[in-house]
Amino acid sequence: MAFSIGELSRRAGVKVPTIRYYEAAGLMPPAPRSDGGQRRYGRADAERLTFIRHARELGFEPEAIRELLDLTAHPEQSCATIDAIAARHLREVERRIASLGRLRDELARMIGECGHGRIGDCRVVETLADHAHCAGEHP
Amino acid sequence: MAFSIGELSRRAGVKVPTIRYYEAAGLMPPAPRSDGGQRRYGRADAERLTFIRHARELGFEPEAIRELLDLTAHPEQSCATIDAIAARHLREVERRIASLGRLRDELARMIGECGHGRIGDCRVVETLADHAHCAGEHP
DNA sequence: TCTACGATCTCTAGCGACTAGAGGTTCAAG
DNA sequence: CTTGAACCTCTAGTCGCTAGAGATCGTAGA
Ligand SMILES: [Zn+2]
Ligand SMILES: [Zn+2]
Ligand SMILES: [Zn+2]
Ligand SMILES: [Zn+2]
């Protein structure tokens, strides 16, 4: 029935120290303890930790995951807030993609313009030395 | 001629504590000092720091910037190594863009599939709870 | 020349999200 | 009952800065 932190680690695919960190960070509830003081877990903990791991893999911040977990405790309520959190995260991901896209273009241009001769004439060095050689802005 | 760290900060657009951090990190050379022990800089330092700032803005790691700065000290040599460092960084940026693109698709699909009803039926929650609901892999 | 006050100095600590290790205790198989 | 793997807590380290405390320096006005 009740299992150890190592078993939980295997079931959810999360390292043992990370589980303890999540408990200290308030993502996992304080686990009940055995007589000797070791943490004991149940099926619900494995599900919660799997949820946390997957949300982290999808880039959600711990704070957002806390909100999501709180909301799932009330299955009867509207999921509007949950969807809004996900949509907010999606917008943030899109923003980062756009930003990295500008970066990629600038890097590609800089490399493409270099004649690959001496360092003194390298276009990469010139561009890094002076933002005026950049096509657009970057944050 | 020689100017203070505050003046260097204004010229290069880098905060004063960050300049001291760069010195400790080996990106900037140890600055000569005034009689009272304050750092004094010259034109070359402002150029070097501007280079560092711009390279950081373009996402280069401090370690890569150190290599670039070392190489620019030998303007007669071939710029092949410099271009290789830049190309390596470009590949890394492209890798991150691709990874974020997969993330974006997964998030958009997850949100798009939700009927926006009760939390108990929310597709976002279902997907976060079980990676089997994801279309592809994510790192 | 004295004084005031902003700028600079060093040192320490904090951020976020973990990860690694030391040194000590508990659990479970044989 | 013994053994040894797994567990416990606590501290410290990662990276690239950033923010303070408390002391000292530099410079301009009176
Ligand atoms: Zn080149
Ligand atoms: Zn630029
Ligand atoms: Zn929903
Ligand atoms: Zn998934």
**Predicted confidence (pLDDT) per residue in B105-122, tens digit:** 999 999 999 999 999 999
Q: Which residue is nearest to nucleotide C26 (CA to C1')?
A: A36
User: Are B67 and B108 part of one and the same domain?
Assistant: no
Q: Which residues pair with B3 in a beta bridge?
A: B41
Check residue A126 and give its pLDDT.
Answer: 96
Same domain, A68 and A89: no
| Domain CATH for B15 | 1.10.1660.10
Residue B137, both tokens:
């892999």
Kindly state whether residues B11 and B49 are assigned to the same domain: yes
Task: Count structural domains, chain B.
Answer: 2
Q: Could you tell me if A96 lies within 8 Å of chain B, comparing CB atoms?
A: yes
Closest in B97, B114, B139 to A97, CB measured: B97
Nucleotide with smallest C1' distance to residue B25 CA: D16
Å between A13 CA and nearest CA of chain B: 12
Report yes or no on A43 lying in a domain: yes
Q: Measure the CA–CA gap between A85 and B17, rounded to whole angstroms.
A: 36
- Residue B100 in any domain: the answer is yes
Eight-state DSSP code of residue A133: G
Answer yes or no: do A60 and A15 share one domain.
Answer: yes
Residues of B in contact with A130 (CB under 8 A): 50, 54
A138 located within any domain? no
Host domain of residue B14: 5-72
Q: Per the domain annotation, does B139 fall within a domain?
A: no
The integer distance in angstroms from the CA atom of B39 to the C1' atom of C8 is 9
Do residue A65 and residue A100 come from a single domain?
no
pLDDT class of A137 with cuts at 50, 70, 90: confident
How many angstroms separate the CA atoms of A70 and B47, rounded?
51
> Cβ of A107 and B96 within 8 Å?
no
Domain end call among B51, B72, B93: B72
The rounded radius of gyration (Å) of the Cα atoms in chain A is: 24
DSSP class per residue in A65-100: HHHHHHHHT-TTSBSHHHHHHHHHHHHHHHHHHHHH
pLDDT higher than threshold 90 for residue B138? no
> Is position B138 within any domain?
no
Residue type, A42: G
Alpha-carbon distance B23 to nearest alpha carbon in chain A (angstroms)? 19
What is the mean pLDDT of the segment spanning A27-47? 97
Please, how many CA atoms are within 13 Å of residue A30, restricted to the half-sphere of its CB?
A: 3
Q: Which of A44, A72, A100 is the last residue of a domain?
A: A72
pLDDT of residue A99: 94
Per-residue pLDDT tens for A61-114? 999 999 999 999 999 999 999 999 999 999 999 999 999 999 999 999 999 999
A84 to chain B, any CB pair closer than 8 A? The answer is no
Domain co-membership, A47 together with A103: no
Answer whether residue B9 is part of any domain. yes
Give the confidence band of A138 by pLDDT, cuts at 50, 70, 90. Answer: confident
Is residue B35 in a domain?
yes
Q: When comparing pLDDT for A43 and A136, which is higher?
A: A43
B116/A58 Cβ within 8 A: no
B95 shares its domain with B125: yes
Are residues B121 and B65 part of one domain? no
Please provide the average confidence, as pLDDT, over all residues in chain A: 95
- Average confidence score pLDDT of chain B: 95
Could you tell me the pTM of the whole model?
Answer: 0.91
Distances (CA, A) of B44 to B3, B14, B22, B28: 12, 15, 15, 11
Q: What angle do CA A76, A78, A79 make, to 5 degrees?
A: 110
- Which of A51, A83, A103 lies closest to B114 in CB terms? A83
Dist CA B60 CA B99 (whole Å): 19
Which among B72, B96, B120 is the end of a domain? Answer: B72
